[in-house]
């Protein structure tokens, strides 16, 4: 299949950047990133700077890949990270627009590569259970009802790619933060720090990212299909914690 | 050089306890005076950094990814073993120890494996306390599943994302230490060399992958937890960025490299579908519980699977291994698939694939039951291949997946360079010639949480008051100059071929001659071919751009340069080991039925290779292995 790609090129964080157009021959069985590999091989052979893009596991689990494809985070296929998207989802002759995540909290480093360290900071603010190595009791000492454990796992499935932020008109990180807050708040082990955790994580989140106004775009963009119900949970936790702590 | 594994004396059950008592301690007030560098933020590195931060050491942790949470441990699917015996089915520390030694085909070190089995239970406790959402029974207690190579159910799991959940647990602990100021995290920073002075590791040299800055970091001890080297083959199930540069540079600075030819080829991966393919995707081997593996009986068969009648199909695993059938261990299943394809009986693209057919299971159990068990795997398969496995059989083919070989370490996980440690897949110690499923996660976390924090303390206590070496000293400056020299050389080559095209060619050589089966002639030829291609690499590679920028081609170029050297060592090791064991199958050494034939009289040892400098053949040292606790037997799955 013959495709035209309009790709965002930007030399570094200080460059203003702009779109460049490329023609590429692709096979329907290629993954989207393999199609970009082919483009990069061609560019390199021609002596042109290859397109920088983030990727690693190419199995949809590490959360590295982060392309805005035709205005949709991770492209047209629901519940699929960019690396698992295949070219058979496109038509011969298509023009595809490829951009980096667009959000003030994710500055572009080069071409399609952005800095997502803001997400790490939200976790550092409290997205953990304070347990020192070696001090854990026997694992079966605290039973966790199966449905609770499963729901916690639904939230914990977040791969931290940042598609939720990229797709949100406000650049809010609510779905990311809510997934971690909910995962830990649903488990008995997470109770002692529950209030402090949600207060600190929300504070860090609000300081670097936009605010949520319930567009729900994040849920549609999420490659792990994490539900915005977790945002409601986080909000409830936040309000109770505020009330308790004054 | 005499290799001393420093295995503590006494009965195997008491070695670790005794050793923990005998090791020196650093008192709490003194711990903050020590700097420890950890390279890699996966299960082994992330756990080591977090645990040592908790103890009060000052830790710097480096990773090439943009966040510590993306290390490749995240991609492990199946589970993690522990000898909890929660199922009351006869498991014990001794049984997990025994299974691991036997599964490793008697080429691992008993004392290390025993310790691994001992601490396995602590790992599960630790992870549950961190909030890892393991699968549970309706009563709220932890569930277990069974896995290849074991007759008990000892595998803990979090859906098909166990590696992800364990890594996030580690990442969260690490984040807590970052917030507390105990660990400084350096993402997008790649280690390019280790600095050794007076026989001791003094620090590392890194490249900032955004600015290109080459910089030295000094420390009292250095841990390499940088994973395995399956990407030598170009096509593997590893993440694209996984690389061997850290361990290879350490090897070039004097750390011995153990059992490099012990590589694991996983049988249930999605076959290659084109020449542009960038990586291979693994599917959990649990699929073999219900899928039947077959090929057509006639070479060159062109009919669709459904049109091939039952009597024209060869269910070759069931035929050759009636007792285990489709559930034979990984190495046997992989080799059998290759054998079929070599005879022209393969299916799909390039005839490099075999069918994994669920038609019988679907008619026996119903579509819903199969969907409940394997739904997400079927979905993943369809996403990649565009074929619906409920309707047409899956096609599978083996792919490089894990490397049992790695830096030689003693019982303390210290390499042959003082103060330089290797943990997780980066070392060689626990899996022998073949790793059992669900044991990689266990080893990574055992090393990081429960071994290194003790053994590094013992080393540091002996160097109290010495302090790190300044980075403006001659040893650091010399290594920095060498690193800059290598970068300049790659950038100024101005050749005609891309890094990927040369890497692909190297991978094909390794796969063909040092992959699932090997022979002397092929290996000798491969060593020559690799040397020729390496020559071409350094004269004809094309790396555009400059160092002072985000330059992904330059990153790859440095890693591939090191693969060329490592690939040669893999072939030399495979050539020298004139026996078949675990993942290492030498065609000349097999039983009359064609199965792997071990030679315990001559080869019950660890081969540990010492680098002799560029252009010189490496020297092999031997660490003899003995098995006073697990009697040597020939594996049989008939």
Beta-carbon separation of A31 and B384 below 8 A: yes
Percent of chain A topping pLDDT 70: 100
B55 CA to chain A: closest CA distance, Å? 9
Beta-carbon separation of A34 and B171 below 8 A: no
- Best mutation target, A17, A38, A55, A57, to test chain B (most B CBs within 10 A): A57
Helix axes B162-179, A146-156, angle to 10 degrees: 70
Are the C-beta atoms of residues A9 and A111 closer than 8 Å to each other? yes
Determine the residue of chain A that is closest to B546 in CA distance. A49
Are the C-beta atoms of residues B234 and B559 closer than 8 Å to each other? no
CA gap A198, B389 in Å, rounded: 43
pLDDT 10s digits, B199-246? 999 999 999 999 999 999 999 999 999 999 999 999 999 999 999 999
Residue B149 has pLDDT above 70, yes or no: no
| pLDDT for position B375 | 86
Catalytic pick among B69, B207, B320, B330: B330
Residue predicted with more confidence, B609 or B289: B609
Beta-carbon separation of B126 and A131 below 8 A: yes
CA gap A204, B103 in Å, rounded: 48
Helix axes B162-179, B110-130, angle to 10 degrees: 70
Residues 6+ apart with CB under 8 A from B130: A128, A129, A131, A189, B169, B170, B172, B173
Who among B129, B133, B542 is closest to A156 (CB)? Answer: B133
Q: Bridge-partner residues for B396, per DSSP?
A: B354
Q: What is the mean pLDDT of chain A?
A: 97
A239 CA to chain B: closest CA distance, Å? 23
Beta-carbon separation of B178 and A124 below 8 A: yes
Determine the residue of chain B that is closest to A200 in CA distance. B179
Beta-carbon separation of A124 and B128 below 8 A: no
Are the C-beta atoms of residues A7 and A68 closer than 8 Å to each other? no
B637 CA to chain A: closest CA distance, Å? 32
Residue B193 has pLDDT above 70, yes or no: yes
Who among A57, A63, A183 is closest to B133 (CB)? Answer: A183
Query: What residue spans define the domains of chain A?
Result: 2-113, 116-245
| pLDDT for position B592 | 87
CATH number of A2-113: 3.10.20.30
Who among A34, A84, A125 is closest to B276 (CB)? Answer: A34
Encoding tokens for residue B335? 């080799």
pLDDT grade for B534, boundaries at 50, 70 and 90: very high
Beta-carbon separation of B67 and A152 below 8 A: no
Who among B72, B128, B383 is closest to A57 (CB)? Answer: B72
Determine the residue of chain B that is closest to A59 in CA distance. B281
Mean pLDDT, rounded, for B503-530:
97
Residue B69 annotated to the active site: no
Residue B636 has pLDDT above 90, yes or no: no
CA gap A152, A173 in Å, rounded: 19
pLDDT grade for B595, boundaries at 50, 70 and 90: confident
B475 CA to chain A: closest CA distance, Å? 33
Determine the residue of chain B that is closest to A145 in CA distance. B140
Beta-carbon separation of A149 and B133 below 8 A: yes
Tell me if residue B213 falls in helix, strand or coil. coil
- Best mutation target, A116, A123, A135, A181, to test chain B (most B CBs within 10 A): A123
Residue predicted with more confidence, B427 or B376: B427
Beta-carbon separation of B384 and A64 below 8 A: no
| pLDDT for position B112 | 98
pLDDT grade for A246, boundaries at 50, 70 and 90: low
Question: What domains appear along chain B, each with residue ranges and CATH number?
Answer: 37-264+403-461 (3.50.50.60), 265-401 (3.90.700.10), 474-614 (1.20.58.100)
What is the full DSSP assignment across B539-587? HHB---S-SSS--HHHHHHHHHHHHHHHHHHHHHHHHH--S-BTTB-BT
Beta-carbon separation of A144 and B140 below 8 A: yes
CA gap B358, B394 in Å, rounded: 8
Strand pairing category for B200-208 and B189-197: antiparallel
Question: Helices in B283-398 by DSSP H: which ranges?
Answer: 316-320, 330-342, 359-365, 367-385
Alpha carbons within 13 A on the beta-carbon side of A40: 23
Mean pLDDT, rounded, for B522-535:
98
Residue predicted with more confidence, B77 or A165: A165
Q: What is the mean pLDDT of chain B?
A: 95
- Best mutation target, A41, A108, A128, A150, to test chain B (most B CBs within 10 A): A128
Burial profile B102-119: b = 16 or more Cβ within 10 angstroms, e = fewer = bbbbbbbbbbbbbbbbbb
Residue B142 has pLDDT above 80, yes or no: yes
CA gap A123, B175 in Å, rounded: 7
Residue A81 has pLDDT above 70, yes or no: yes
Dihedral over Cα of A76, A82, A87, A91: its sign: positive
Nearest to B85 by CA among B156, B27, B136, B35: B156
CA-based max dimension of chain B: 77
In whole angstroms, how large is the CA radius of gyration of chain A?
20
Residue B148 has pLDDT above 90, yes or no: no
pLDDT 10s digits, A169-218? 999 999 999 999 999 999 999 999 999 999 999 999 999 999 999 999 99
pLDDT 10s digits, B247-299? 999 999 999 999 999 999 999 999 998 889 999 999 888 888 889 999 999 99
pLDDT 10s digits, B315-351? 999 999 998 889 887 888 999 999 999 999 999 999 9
Determine the residue of chain B that is closest to A160 in CA distance. B69
Mean pLDDT, rounded, for B476-487:
98
Beta-carbon separation of A58 and B139 below 8 A: no
Beta-carbon separation of A136 and B128 below 8 A: yes
CATH number of A116-245: 1.10.1060.10
pLDDT grade for B308, boundaries at 50, 70 and 90: very high
B549 CA to chain A: closest CA distance, Å? 8
pLDDT 10s digits, B427-442? 998 999 999 889 999 9
CA gap B562, B483 in Å, rounded: 13
Who among B51, B125, B240 is closest to A55 (CB)? Answer: B240
CA gap B11, B176 in Å, rounded: 39
Question: Helices in B144-285 by DSSP H: which ranges?
Answer: 162-179, 245-252
Q: Bridge-partner residues for B622, per DSSP?
A: B607
Q: Bridge-partner residues for B190, per DSSP?
A: B207
pLDDT grade for B46, boundaries at 50, 70 and 90: very high
- Best mutation target, B160, B172, B237, B445, to test chain A (most A CBs within 10 A): B172
pLDDT 10s digits, A93-139? 999 999 999 999 999 999 999 999 999 999 999 999 999 999 999 99
Chain A and chain B share a number of CB contacts under 8 A equal to: 214
CA gap B68, B392 in Å, rounded: 40
């Amino acid at each position: 299949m013959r495709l035209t790609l309009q790709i965002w090129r930007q030399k570094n964080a200080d460059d203003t950047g702009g779109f460049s157009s490329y023609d590429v021959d692709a096979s329907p069985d290629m993954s989207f990133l393999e199609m970009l590999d082919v483009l990069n091989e061609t560019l390199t052979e021609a002596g042109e700077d290859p397109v920088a893009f983030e990727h690693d596991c190419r199995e949809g689990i590490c959360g590295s890949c982060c392309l805005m494809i035709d205005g949709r985070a991770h492209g047209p296929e629901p519940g699929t990270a960019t690396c698992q998207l295949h070219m058979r989802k496109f038509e011969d002759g298509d023009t595809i627009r490829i951009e980096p995540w667009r959000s003030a909290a994710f500055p572009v480093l080069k071409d399609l590569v952005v800095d997502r360290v803001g997400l790490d900071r939200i976790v550092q603010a409290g997205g953990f259970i304070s347990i020192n190595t070696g001090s854990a009791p026997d694992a079966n000492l605290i039973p966790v009802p199966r449905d609770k454990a499963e729901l916690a796992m639904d939230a914990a499935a977040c791969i931290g790619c940042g598609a939720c932020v990229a797709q949100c008109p406000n650049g809010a990180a609510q779905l990311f933060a809510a997934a971690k807050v909910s995962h830990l708040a649903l488990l008995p082990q997470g109770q002692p720090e529950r209030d402090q955790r949600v207060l600190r994580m929300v504070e860090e989140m609000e300081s670097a990212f936009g605010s949520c106004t319930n567009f729900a775009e994040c849920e549609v963009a999420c490659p792990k299909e994490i539900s915005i119900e977790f945002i409601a949970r986080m909000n409830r936790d936040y309000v109770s914690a505020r009330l308790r702590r004054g | 050089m005499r290799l001393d594994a420093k295995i503590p004396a006494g009965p195997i059950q008491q070695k670790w306890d005794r050793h923990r008592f005998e090791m020196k301690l650093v008192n709490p007030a003194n711990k903050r005076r020590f700097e420890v560098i950890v390279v890699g933020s996966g299960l082994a590195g992330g756990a080591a950094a977090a645990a040592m931060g908790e103890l009060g050491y000052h830790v710097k942790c480096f990773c090439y990814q943009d966040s510590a949470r993306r290390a490749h441990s995240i991609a492990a699917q199946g589970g993690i073993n522990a000898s909890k015996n929660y199922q009351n089915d006869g498991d014990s520390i001794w049984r997990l120890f025994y299974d691991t030694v036997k599964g490793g085909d008697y080429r691992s070190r008993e004392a290390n494996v025993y310790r691994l089995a001992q601490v396995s239970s602590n790992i599960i406790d630790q992870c549950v306390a961190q909030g890892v959402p393991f699968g549970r029974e309706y009563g709220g207690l932890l569930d277990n599943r069974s896995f290849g190579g074991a007759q008990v159910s000892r595998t803990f799991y979090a859906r098909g994302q166990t590696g992800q959940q364990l890594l996030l647990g580690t990442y969260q602990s690490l984040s807590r230490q970052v917030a507390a100021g105990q660990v400084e995290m350096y993402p997008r920073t790649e280690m390019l060399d280790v600095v050794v002075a007076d026989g001791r590791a003094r620090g590392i040299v890194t490249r900032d992958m955004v600015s290109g800055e080459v910089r030295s970091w000094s420390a009292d001890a250095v841990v390499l937890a940088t994973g395995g080297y399956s990407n030598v083959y170009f096509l593997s199930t590893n993440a694209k960025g996984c690389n061997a540069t850290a361990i290879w540079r350490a090897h070039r600075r004097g750390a011995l490299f153990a059992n490099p030819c012990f590589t694991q080829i996983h049988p249930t991966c999605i076959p290659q579908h084109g020449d542009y393919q960038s990586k291979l995707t693994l599917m959990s081997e649990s699929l073999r519980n219900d899928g039947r593996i077959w090929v057509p009986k006639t070479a060159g068969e062109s009919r669709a699977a459904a049109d091939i009648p039952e009597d024209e199909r060869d269910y070759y695993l069931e035929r050759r291994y009636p007792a285990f059938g489709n559930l034979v261990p990984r190495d046997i299943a992989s080799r059998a698939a290759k054998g079929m394809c070599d005879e022209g009986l393969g299916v799909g693209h390039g005839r490099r694939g075999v069918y994994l057919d669920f038609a019988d299971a679907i008619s026996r159990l119903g579509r819903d039951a199969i969907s409940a068990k394997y739904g997400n795997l079927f979905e993943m398969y369809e996403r990649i291949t565009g074929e619906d496995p409920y309707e047409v059989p899956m096609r599978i083919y083996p792919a490089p997946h894990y490397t049992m070989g790695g830096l030689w370490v003693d019982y303390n996980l210290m390499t042959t360079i003082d103060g330089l440690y290797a943990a997780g897949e980066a070392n060689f110690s626990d899996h022998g010639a073949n790793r059992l499923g669900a044991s990689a996660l266990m080893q990574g976390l055992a090393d990081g949480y429960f071994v290194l924090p003790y053994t590094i303390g013992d080393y540091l206590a002996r160097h109290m008051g010495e302090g790190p070496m300044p980075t403006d000293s001659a040893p650091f400056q010399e290594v920095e100059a060498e690193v800059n020299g290598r970068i300049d050389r790659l950038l100024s080559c101005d050749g005609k071929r891309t890094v990927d095209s040369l890497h692909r060619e190297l991978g094909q050589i390794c796969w063909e001659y040092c992959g699932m089966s090997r022979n002397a002639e092929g290996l000798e030829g491969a060593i020559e071919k690799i040397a020729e291609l390496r020559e071409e690499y350094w004269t004809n590679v094309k790396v555009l751009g400059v160092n002072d920028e985000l330059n992904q081609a330059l990153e790859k170029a440095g890693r591939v340069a090191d693969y060329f050297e490592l690939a040669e060592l893999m072939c030399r090791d495979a050539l020298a080991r004139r026996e078949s064991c675990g993942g290492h199958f030498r065609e000349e050494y097999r039983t009359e039925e064609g199965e792997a034939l071990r030679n315990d009289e001559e080869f019950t040892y660890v081969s540990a290779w010492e680098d002799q400098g560029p252009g010189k053949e490496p020297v092999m040292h031997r660490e003899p292995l003995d098995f006073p606790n697990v009697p040597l037997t020939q594996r049989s799955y008939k």
